[in-house]
Chain A
Amino acid sequence: MRVLLSWLREFVDVQLTPEQLADALMLRGLEVRGLERWGSTWQTMVVGELLEVAPHPRADRLLLTKVRVGKEQVLEVVCGARNIAVGQRVPVALVGAVMLDGRKIERAEKMGVTSEGMLCSGAELDATDDGEGILILDSKAPIGMSMSDFLGEDVIDVDVKPNRGDLLSLLGLAREVGAITGAPVTYRARLLHESGEPVTSGLRLVVADAEAAPRVLLRVVDGVKVGAAPDAVQMRLKAAGLRSISNVVDATNYIMLELGKPTHVFDRAAVGSEIRIRTATSGERLTTLDHVERTLDVSDLVVADERGALALAGVMGGASSEVSGSTESVIIESAVFAPASIRRSAQRHGLRSEASHRFERGQELDLAPVAADQVAVLITAWAGGSVRKGQLDSDPKAIGVTRELAFRPARVRALIGVDISDTEQSTLLSGISIMSTPAKRAASVPVTRNRTVACEKGELLSAVIPPWRRDLELEADIAEEVARLYGYDRIPPTLPGRDLPGYQPQPTALRDRVRSYLAAAGLSEVVTHALVAESISERHAEPVGLVSGALALSEGAAVSEVLILSNPLSVDHDRLRRSLLPSLLDRAEANLRYGALSGALFEVGRGYGGGEAGPQEWTRLALVVWGNIDAAAPGAVTRIWALDEVKRAIASVAAIASVEPRYLPTQTGDSLLLHPGRAARIGGEGIAGLVGELHPAAPEWRDAPRILLAEFALRGLTSGVPAVQQVTLPPTTPPVQRDVALAAPANVLVGDLVGLAGECVTLAVSTELFDLFVAPGMAEGERSVGLRFTFQPAAATELDAQITAQLDTFTSTAATRYGTRVRGDEAQ
């Protein structure tokens, strides 16, 4: 809410500068968005006194004026407006001034007379809406003073939190300022004069649902002349961020800013003999003031007459009963509506108005009659006319009540952690009109909305809550008031030194080691969007079932359904990704555009999907790499990212999780993103995923560098700490190595042979592929696969027979299963 300091001073005597006031408000809980000098653009416009006004010698439509802008300084100014006269004080834009539209005032000849400035209209200053005549200033305006100093306003923009609807008014803010500064708060209601016919003649009020509208008041003002509001009023509303509409409508907004109570005015002539507050009928139509025809339903509350809806209650008036230039008589409606109902209507119709904003936050019952009276007074003051006798009031007994709220000062101390005495708490609360005294009898303390605690009178203070503090319901609410009035800055910091929870391992420990390893290995960590476009989402999704068993339980398993937003910001980000790879690829492409000929990216992030068990999330490590691994150096061989290099990185990462990856053939439908001839499933206990080269048809594809991708679940990524390894001290005997070379037919996969070796040769401490080549004389597609087994026998001859037996089992099984033969058996 934009608060004019000059206006606020009519309610509370603040002597502080705007900056001091803003600081004081901040420290006591009112967030200040900013300070502004409204009219600061008027530095080069000054107050001038018209000394002469004469017809222009050569132009009928122009006047020639002499205007004094300083003791000795008189300017000759040509003026096109007709509303000026000698002796008036007016704003003068001096030569050099820049107007709002960017126009620069220059010494200019106008039909043979040199004009040394410009007299300004209210519209030219954006002070009022009047663009016809010159803005006539107060007759005591100091000549030569800059307009910025004379008419400018200090404006504090206060961010009023949703629980403090009472602060959406100058009166409410004045109370708060008074509590902070100790200055007295005064509100003087303007005196109302009634005359003529009683309001009841020809008008009835019916409130169909008192719960939706606890109090409604109507007043009628006859004989108004609708026109512009006085300049000073227009300026105040503009400075406060509201548009000036007309003298009648401005009266309602003026009172809304003063009291926080929205009211509405109807053209009497457009209303029948009855004002009825009721729920709309389904399909009922209403054209609102913004000239949009709206279809209502039964949860909308309307102000209607016997013929139909006139306004969407608390949200916006209707076009048919809008006050216009021909309006002679108006009905003022001042009501209190149920907040939730107004909020729902405003949201459904996408109509958030200053009025609905306030109604949503609740209204003070007592202000309904006050606002009706005050609006009536201002209308007669600004638009003439007379206020009919009396008012229509749906429920005069619906008045604001003060509530008693019992609280335990000891609990307040225990919550804040500072020894603030009962008396001091009472004193602090009295500053915001909450009077508290030791309770005279035992009472219940409201701890939550469902829970009260019965307490003896000795431990209680009983607080009387003023009607405007609807937000104070519970004991904790009182504690907050005491704390903020005491001052958070005065609370000494302490460290909580009570029971510590038992030791818990940080679940991120393993992940952090993986991340550090990858960074050290030359990869850069990225964080990419979880919300992606359909085109990205469809490029790749983790195959359902790829991650299963214990790994799926710890790291999550992909499910098939895509989670789509119902209210996306844009189609580019309207659904949750099921794989990290397309997002990473998108970033790789961006970096290629930025000229990164080589790059290596990784992300530990989530995939999302829906299934029978509801939404699921899973955590994966994904990487996208291309180009050179190392920076080039003279004489050094530069390694290039290739499938084997990616596998090297995967193996290192897997080792951190005590996992050994194996590579299996991909299956139909695994990925559209991967090169079908250069991709594999990653398998093994504790790891599952896909690795491969980017499909050559992919748009990012260049002949070089090749782009490689991997995404996998790894045991412990979300919950793991690195395993503590058990070690057997090696014997003094050296390890034994046995090599086996197999000639494998074309369709045999090395991964299968390695897998079989692992099953058969269980005595080996490691198995490595040391050779893979095509030897001269081999059959078409046949390859020589060299496997090196390392054994660590404790004595030189130990196990020798067993080793040989296991190797034989391996070679013979391979021969029968895959058709391999041991190389060296044949004559070479």
Chain B
Amino acid sequence: MELAALEEQLRTLQTESLAKISAASSSAALEDLGSSLLGKRGVLTDLLRGIGSLSAQDRPKIGSLANEVRAAIEAALADRRATAGAAELTARIVAERVDATTPGPLPQLGSLHPIPETIAAIAQIMGSFGFTVSEGQEVEDDVTNFQLLNIPEDHPSRDLWDTLYLREPGRLLRTHTSPGQIRAMRAGQPPIRVILPGRCFRYEAVDASHGFEFHQVEGLLVDRGTTLADLKGILDELARGLFGPSARTRFRPGYYPFTEPSVAVDVSWGGSKDGWMTILGAGMVHPIVLENGGIDPETHQGFAFGLGVERIAMLRHGIPDLRAFLENDLRMLRGLR
């Protein structure tokens, strides 16, 4: 082939290619064009196959012209690709648009029941003062539930607890968490700091503030030189932990056969509507109870307290009726997450 004819073909290729490139409208078309013009089996490669028939001196001329043509086509392709790409991106963004302001599918959230949650809250507060949780048995015997707690048989103080008995003589459902005091003292050595949460049972008609099944948390600290003032200090902290920093406590004398002196504790806080609310009973562990727990009342003393979990949960969550806890209506429970 003549040099001149090949040169002419290359120039024509350049002109026609540039026209095709500027007419191409999409990235895909440009991609196809690129490979059909410059690819291994493209037009340019095809043309250059004729180079073999040229003389040795003409070959470099065609070579450099071919490079020019390639460069021009590549530049045009790149330029056109950028323009088309931007337009395509814009079009895609428009096309892919959704309403991202819909609320989105809601997860079905579960919830934790206020009774175990209140127990967990108490465990956490008391845990920071070194108290560990210990869960005792709910089926008790008369000896541990009453007698070892200084509540003898045929004593009027038994009237404080209406008891559910099992058919097996001497067996009953614990009326309070206090028998755990005896078990905790017998199981360990002072210093003892435990809380004993759990279910209790009483022969009691059900109404908005009473149930025959309820929960208590017992606290017990036995050490050398523990005082009533220490009990006040700890219970102040517990009240603040449960009812917030504005909580105030009022301690007044109470009566429990297993504590001496005995204390009734009222609490008042920002959210309490009716002033003082009685939340727990407490006192210094009775020396007879210490003795029954295997602890020498001459060397050690301690305090104990017992609180009703339902009552605390009612006050904390504003639940007016204790029966709601065992009703387990999902509409209420799901509001408590």
Contact = CB atoms under 8 A, between A and B. Distances in A.
A156 interface: no
B329 interface: yes
Interface in A596-636: 596, 598-601, 604, 606, 608, 610, 615, 617, 628-634, 636
A360 B153 CA distance: 12
Contact of A507 (B110, B134, B223, B301): B134
Contact of B284 (A361, A415, A531, A718): A415
B213 A529 contact: yes
Interface string B165-198: 1111001010000000000000010111100000
Given A483-B228, A496-B223, A566-B165, A521 B110 contact: yes
B327 interface: yes
A493 B236 contact: yes
Given A525-B116, A527-B328, A594-B330, A494 B260 contact: no
Contacts of A530: 138, 199, 201, 213
A566 B224 CA distance: 43
Nearest to A599: B330
Interface in A710-768: 718
B34 interface: no
Interface residues of A, number: 102
A515 B116 contact: yes
A489 B252 CA distance: 7
Given A506-B133, A515-B116, A590-B327, A522 B167 contact: no
B131 to A, nearest CB: 9
Contacts of B160: 162
A28 interface: yes
Nearest to B331: A594
Contacts of A243: none
Contacts of B264: 31
A520 interface: yes
B255 to A, nearest CB: 4
Given A566-B165, A569-B203, A162 B157 contact: yes
Interface stretch (B42-50, B58-66, B285-293): B285-293
A451 interface: yes
Nearest to B229: A417
Contacts of A28: 252-253
B287 A417 contact: no
A629 B233 contact: no
A305 B260 CA distance: 45
B71 interface: no
A682 to B, nearest CB: 21
Interface stretch (B9-17, B78-86, B99-107): B99-107
A523 interface: yes
Contacts of B107: 522, 630-631
Contacts of A475: 287
A484 B253 contact: yes
Contact of B113 (A516, A525, A598): A525
Contact of B328 (A480, A512, A526): A526
Given A474-B287, A519-B110, A529-B326, A617 B137 contact: yes
Contacts of B301: 414-415
B234 A525 contact: no
A600 B261 contact: no
Counting contact residues on chain B (CB < 8 A from A), the size range is 35 or more
Contacts of A479: 260-261, 284
A527 B229 contact: no
B164 A162 contact: no
A519 B112 contact: yes
Interface string A413-446: 0111110000000000000000000000000000
A581 to B, nearest CB: 14
B232 interface: yes
B262 A480 contact: yes
Given A498-B224, A530-B213, A29 B138 contact: no
A505 B111 CA distance: 25
Contacts of A529: 213, 326
A282 interface: no
A576 B109 contact: no
Contact of B105 (A518, A526, A636): A636
A453 interface: yes
B325 interface: yes
B113 A617 contact: no
Interface string A573-588: 1001000000000010
Among B134, B157, B225, B329, max chain A CB count under 10 A is at: B329
Nearest to B167: A566
Contacts of B173: 565, 576
A343 B228 contact: no
Contacts of B164: 531, 565, 567-569
B333 A525 contact: yes
B88 interface: no
A501 interface: yes
A508 B233 contact: no
Contacts of A416: 227-229, 261
B167 A494 contact: no
B132 interface: yes
Contact of B233 (A414, A493, A600, A617): A493
A206 interface: no
A418 B261 CA distance: 14
B228 A451 contact: no
Contact of B191 (A501, A516, A606): A501
Given A453-B298, A474-B260, A488-B251, A600 B110 contact: yes
A196 interface: no
B57 interface: no
B269 interface: no
Contacts of B287: 447-448, 451, 474-476
B297 A447 contact: yes
B120 A508 contact: yes
Contacts of A343: 154-156
Contact of B123 (A417, A488, A506, A591): A506
Contacts of A361: 156
B110 A417 contact: no
A632 B104 CA distance: 10
A448 B297 contact: yes
Contacts of A26: 252
B28 interface: no
A29 B256 CA distance: 12
Contacts of B130: 500-501
A161 B333 CA distance: 38
Contacts of B205: 569
B203 to A, nearest CB: 6
B229 A499 contact: no
Interface string A307-327: 000000000000000000000
B20 interface: no
A231 B125 CA distance: 59
B115 to A, nearest CB: 5
Among A567, A573, A629, max chain B CB count under 10 A is at: A567
Contacts of A474: 260, 287-288
A456 B57 CA distance: 135
B297 A610 contact: no
Nearest to B151: A162
Nearest to B286: A476
A495 B116 contact: no
8 contacts: A162-B156, A343-B156, A451-B297, A567-B203, A606-B138, A617-B137, A628-B108, A718-B135
Given A449-B288, A495-B237, 16 more contacts: A161-B255, A162-B156, A415-B261, A418-B229, A447-B298, A477-B260, A483-B228, A496-B234, A500-B193, A507-B132, A508-B120, A531-B164, A569-B205, A615-B137, A633-B106, A718-B135
Interface of A: 26-29, 31, 161-165, 339-340, 343-344, 360-361, 414-418, 447-451, 453, 474-477, 479-480, 483-484, 488-489, 491-496, 498-501, 504-508, 512, 515-516, 518-531, 563-569, 573, 576, 587, 590-591, 594, 596, 598-601, 604, 606, 608, 610, 615, 617, 628-634, 636, 718
